[in-house]
Structure 1
Amino acid sequence: MPTLPGYAKVYAKAYETAKNKGVDIKDSIEIDAFSNSYISDQDASDLFKARVKIQTRLCANEYVTGNGITAYTGKEFSNAYGVVETFTYDKNPQTIGKMLADGRMKMLDTHPVQ
């Protein structure tokens, strides 16, 4: 995933602007047009387009911060971060059931922090 210090915030802002302008994030022609008009630096534009591809193809949304924790989007608390979320790209992924069964994964009970 393209990660540069602070890029998650830059991406989230550009992504939000694209959404507000009605850009279809899954349409590469619309993304190209938006990126080329909104982002003046070619490298930054290319980085944005690459990050959009990661989001649309691999479901790493704009709330993935690049530090293993997602941005908190709720209004109930003043937390900056939400849940811990890993993003793993594996050419031979296994199901959660298989990983639980063979001991590579363990399910933990959790409770909301008050």
Structure 2
Amino acid sequence: MDTDPELLAALFGIDNYDPSQSFTLAVIDMQKMPPKAERSSFIPTYDNMRRFAEQELTEKEGFTKPCLAAILTPEFSEGYAGFMAAYAGTGKNVHNRDAVEEYALETIPDPELRTLNRARHVMQGEFGANPLFAGDGMTKVDQNNRYAKDIGQNSGVVETFTFERDPLTIDELQTLGAVTLIPAIPLKA
């Protein structure tokens, strides 16, 4: 089993791999999870994510059905990826909603497009649908990752999105025998 954290980051569409951090791979056996937990799992296509977001994100936060229909398309995703790449080039934290919103105010003249980018960024923060989210159930390989050429393809793994209203801790999962923890060891120095 490959446990190199940088390789896994490339395959899972994680574009902010930090080699100075240590990583552990958590393999969860869903068959050993308690049935009472409120859990929803699905393949994260654009349509499935839109349906899920319609249930979980409120209009108060700006997530109307037209907004979700607009931001969950290949065309919008391409523009969002460009926006976030430009923002990342500023060196500011890509997870800071206020800073991203301020950058959008400075760089996007169209108020509706700013609102859509803000909504897409909130979705990224809440559901992990980062700029490499392909919307077809596959991850995009981060082409800036040094493993990208070794992988030799644009798609990484088939994704499964699992949302739990009250997720169990690693300790609780270990008590149930539902998780195996494997140290992620870099292969390339």
Shorter-chain TM-score: which interval? 0.5 to 0.7
Partner of 2:149: 75
* TM-score, normalised via structure 1 length: 0.67
Contact 2:74 2:134 in 1 (8 A): no
Query: In 2 relative to 1, CA 94–7 (structure 1 residues): closer, same or farther, beyond 3 Å?
Result: farther
Q: Does 1:44 align with 2:113?
A: yes
User: Which amino acid counterpart does residue 150 of structure 2 have in structure 1?
Assistant: E
Contact 2:97 2:121 in 1 (8 A): no
Deviation at 1:17, TM superposition (A): 1.0
Post-superposition Cα deviations, 1:4-46, rounded to whole Å, max 9, x if no partner, equal 2322222111111111112322322211111112222222211
The structure, 1 or 2, with the larger RCO (C-alpha pairs under 8 Å, 6+ apart) is 2
Kindly indicate which of the two structures has a greater share of residues assigned to strand: 2
Q: Does 1:84 align with 2:158?
A: yes
CA RMSD of aligned residues (A): 2.9
Instruction: Name the count of aligned residue pairs.
Output: 101
Identity %: 27
Contact 2:138 2:159 in 1 (8 A): yes
Is there any run of 5+ residues in structure 1 with no aligned partner, and where? 98-114
Q: Does 1:27 align with 2:101?
A: no
Partner of 2:79: 10
Deviation at 1:94, TM superposition (A): 8.2
Moved over 6 A (4+): 92-95
Partner of 2:130: 61
